[in-house]
Amino acid sequence: MTRVRLDLAGAHTTGLYSELLGEGLSASTIDSGYRSIDYSGLRTGRRMTRFDHVIQSPELFQAGLTRLDWARFNPLYQHYAGEALPWMILDESTLQGFDQEITRWHSAHPEETGATEALARHIYDWVLDPSGLGIRTEVDLPELSADDAIHQRRADCSEFVKIFLTLFNRVGFSPFPVWVGRDLRGDSVQHFATGIEIAGSTFLIDPVYRTFNASHPSYTRIGLREFLAWHWNNVALDRRESNPSGALAAFERALEIDPRNPHIFLNRGIFYSRQGDTAGARADFERALTIDRRFHPAYYELGNLDFDAGRYSEATRNYRMAVRLAPHEADYQTNLSLALSHVGSGSTRSGTHLINPCE
C-alpha cells in the first residue's frame, strides 16, 4: 500500500492539509494533480505531473477551492493567510443590498428565469452605477480585497474580477478569471477579466474597458488557484519598497500556491536583484526558464545581471535570446547594442520589467 507523504513548504500549508482532511477530504482526493497555465503562450492549461504519493501545497489549494464551497474553504484559508479569500464579499450590507436589487429586477422581469444575459448585464451595470455599488476604475492601485474595493468604491482589473466572482456566483452563474494577453485594441497586455458562460457562449465582463462583453482576441481561462497566486504576487509588488520582508513572504505564498508561474519567479528575481542578492535573482530567472524556455523577460534580466558584472559576452548571449523571442521590445535591442559595444560602467540601461496585471 502506497504511503502518502507531505512535501509542503511550511507549517501553514501543513495545517491547511490537516484541516482539509477534517472537512472530509481524503488524501487521495487532495493528491489529484493540478493544471497550470502557460501564460507566455496564452494557450489552454496543460496537465502537470500527477503525483500518486506526494502531496504538494498546490494540491491543497486546488482541493480546497474546487471540492469545497468558498464559504467552507474560507475559514481554512484564513488560518493560512491571515485574511479571507480575496474575492469573498463578507460585508452583510453589501450582500443584502445586492440580493434586494436582484429581487427587484426579477419582479420587473418575470419572464427572465435563470442565469441569463439580461441578468448578467444588469449586475454589470449595478456594480458601476452610482445608485448601485458605484465602483470606478482606477489604475496602479494597491491590491485590494473585494470588500475593500467596494468600501473604497474603486477597482483595477483584479478587483473587478473579485467582485464579480462572488456576485455572479451568488445568482447561479459559474464565473471564472480570464487572463487577457491581447486586448480589444490589439495591444499586448497583462490583464484580467471575468468570464461567464451563457447559452454556450463565453462573455468577457471587463469594466476596465467599459465593456460588458469585451471582444479581446487573445485570452485564457485560469483557475481560482492561479488567480489566488496572482493576488499574492501583486501584494508582494505593493510591499517591495515599504516592507521588503513582507514582500518576500508574499512572493513565497504566491509560489506555494502556483509554483509553475514564470512571471512570479521573474518578479521575485527582480526583487532580489534590487536587494543586492544577485545569486538569488539569477536562480529565480533560471527557474523561470526551466518552466518556459521561451520566456524572454528572464533572458533579458539575466543579461542585465551579466552586464552589471562586466560579463559582456554572457550578457550578449542572453540579450540575443531575448531579442530573438521578442524583437519588438526596444529595451532588449538597446541593451544588446550596449553589450556588443562593451560600454563600461558609465553607461545606463533601461529599467526592469515587473509583471503586475493592469499596470
> How far is residue 115's CA from residue 173's CA, in Å, rounded to a whole number?
6
Domain with CATH 1.25.40.10 in the chain: 261-340
Residue 274, pLDDT score? 95
Burial class, 304, CB count within 10 angstroms (exposed 0-12 / middle 13-18 / buried 19+): buried
Domain with CATH 3.10.620.30 in the chain: 92-222
> How far is residue 236's CA from residue 270's CA, in Å, rounded to a whole number?
12
> How far is residue 102's CA from residue 124's CA, in Å, rounded to a whole number?
12
> How far is residue 226's CA from residue 264's CA, in Å, rounded to a whole number?
11
Query: What pairing do the DSSP bridges indicate for beta strands 5-7 and 54-56?
Result: parallel
- pLDDT string in tens for the chain (359-residue length): 344 555 555 667 778 888 899 999 988 788 766 655 655 544 333 343 443 346 778 889 999 999 999 999 999 999 889 999 999 999 999 999 999 999 999 999 999 888 899 999 999 999 999 999 999 999 889 999 999 999 999 999 999 999 999 999 999 999 999 999 899 999 988 899 999 999 999 999 999 999 999 999 999 999 999 999 999 999 999 999 999 999 999 999 999 999 999 999 999 999 999 999 999 999 999 999 999 999 999 999 999 999 999 999 999 999 999 999 999 999 999 999 999 987 554 455 565 665 666 75
Which positions ≥6 away from 21 have C-beta within 8 Å? 27, 30
Nearest to 310 by CA among 343, 349, 269, 272: 343
Q: Helices marked H in 68-116 — which ranges?
A: 70-81, 92-108
The dotted CATH code for 92-222 is: 3.10.620.30
Would you identify the CATH topology of the domain 261-340? 1.25.40
Query: What pairing do the DSSP bridges indicate for beta strands 176-182 and 218-221?
Result: antiparallel
* Direct distance between the N- and C-terminal alpha carbons of the chain, in angstroms, rounded to an integer: 50
> How far is residue 275's CA from residue 236's CA, in Å, rounded to a whole number?
14
Cell of 233: 504576487
Cα atoms found within 13 Å of the Cα of residue 328, Cβ hemisphere only: 2
> How far is residue 220's CA from residue 44's CA, in Å, rounded to a whole number?
6
Q: Helices marked H in 240-354 — which ranges?
A: 244-257, 262-274, 278-291, 296-308, 312-325, 330-340
Nearest to 185 by CA among 218, 160, 159: 218
Cα atoms found within 13 Å of the Cα of residue 90, Cβ hemisphere only: 13
Residue 350, pLDDT score? 60
DSSP 166-208: HHHHHTT---EEEEEEE-TTS-EEEEEEEEEEETTEEEEEBGG
Which positions ≥6 away from 98 have C-beta within 8 Å? 126, 167, 170
Residue 59, pLDDT score? 86
**How many other CB atoms sit within 10 Å of the CB of residue 26?**
12
